[in-house]
């Protein structure tokens, strides 16, 4: 795993994060290494955002599909393990379900999802010691993340994805190596 994460780990520090949130650089210095922990546990998420929409796949009218992901991100100082920020964000990935009347060579109806957009619908940031909500930091993180998602949405909007179990196994194997020997 080190060969994949080494470059990221090297650059993940308060100096980089300080470009988005200057107060982090002021509080913890310019080159303090950071650890990042992610969880999508709904109980942990609800601790920070009590009115959170449950994670899941929502099928809406007009063949619209919406994937809701709740992520809790814990930023920690690498050397001490001290938590410095808890970030709670809800990511909405939207698409349109399409059933094509064309049958595949195996005689199956072709089902596809068309990606339309991705957006951050909620973001809450808490600083630690003392525990305090940071709405200005949330707005800055939301803006930076939102710009990236907007760029990805423009690039991939209208692209069809045909999810199959075999495709997921193949993608997993490309990253981790063979799944079944």
In-domain check, residue 27: yes
- Is the model more confident about 4 or about 154? 154
Is 132 contained in some domain? Answer: yes
Q: What's the domain range around 165? A: 2-176
Mark residue 9 as left, alpha or beta (left: phi above 0; alpha: psi -120 to 50; beta: remaining).
alpha
> Is 100 a member of any domain?
yes
In a domain, 13, yes or no: yes
In a domain, 181, yes or no: no
Dist. CA 57–CA 175, nearest whole Å: 25
Residue 117 lies in a domain: yes
pLDDT at 1: 46
* Element at 172 (helix H, strand E): helix 165-176
Question: pLDDT tens digits for 58-85?
Answer: 888 888 889 899 999 998 988 888 888 9
Structurally, the chain folds into a number of domains equal to: 1
- pLDDT category at 180 given cuts 50, 70, 90 is very low
Q: What is the pTM of this model?
A: 0.73
In a domain, 99, yes or no: yes
């Amino acid at each position: 795993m080190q060969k994949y994460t080494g470059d990221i780990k090297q650059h993940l520090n308060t100096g980089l994060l300080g470009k988005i949130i200057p107060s982090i650089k002021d509080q913890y210095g310019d080159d303090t290494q950071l650890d990042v922990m992610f969880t999508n546990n709904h109980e942990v998420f609800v601790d920070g955002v009590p009115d959170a929409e449950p994670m899941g796949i929502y099928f809406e009218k007009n063949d619209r599909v919406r994937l809701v992901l709740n992520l809790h991100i814990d930023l920690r100082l690498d050397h001490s393990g001290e938590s410095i920020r808890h970030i709670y964000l809800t990511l909405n990935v939207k698409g349109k379900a399409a059933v094509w009347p064309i049958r595949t060579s195996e005689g199956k109806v072709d089902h596809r999802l068309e990606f339309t957009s991705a957006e951050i619908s909620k973001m809450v940031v808490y600083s630690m010691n003392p525990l305090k909500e940071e709405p200005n930091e949330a707005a800055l993180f939301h803006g930076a993340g939102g710009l990236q998602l907007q760029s990805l949405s423009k690039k991939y909007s209208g692209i069809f994805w045909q999810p199959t179990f075999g495709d997921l196994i193949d993608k997993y194997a490309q990253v981790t190596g063979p799944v079944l020997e």
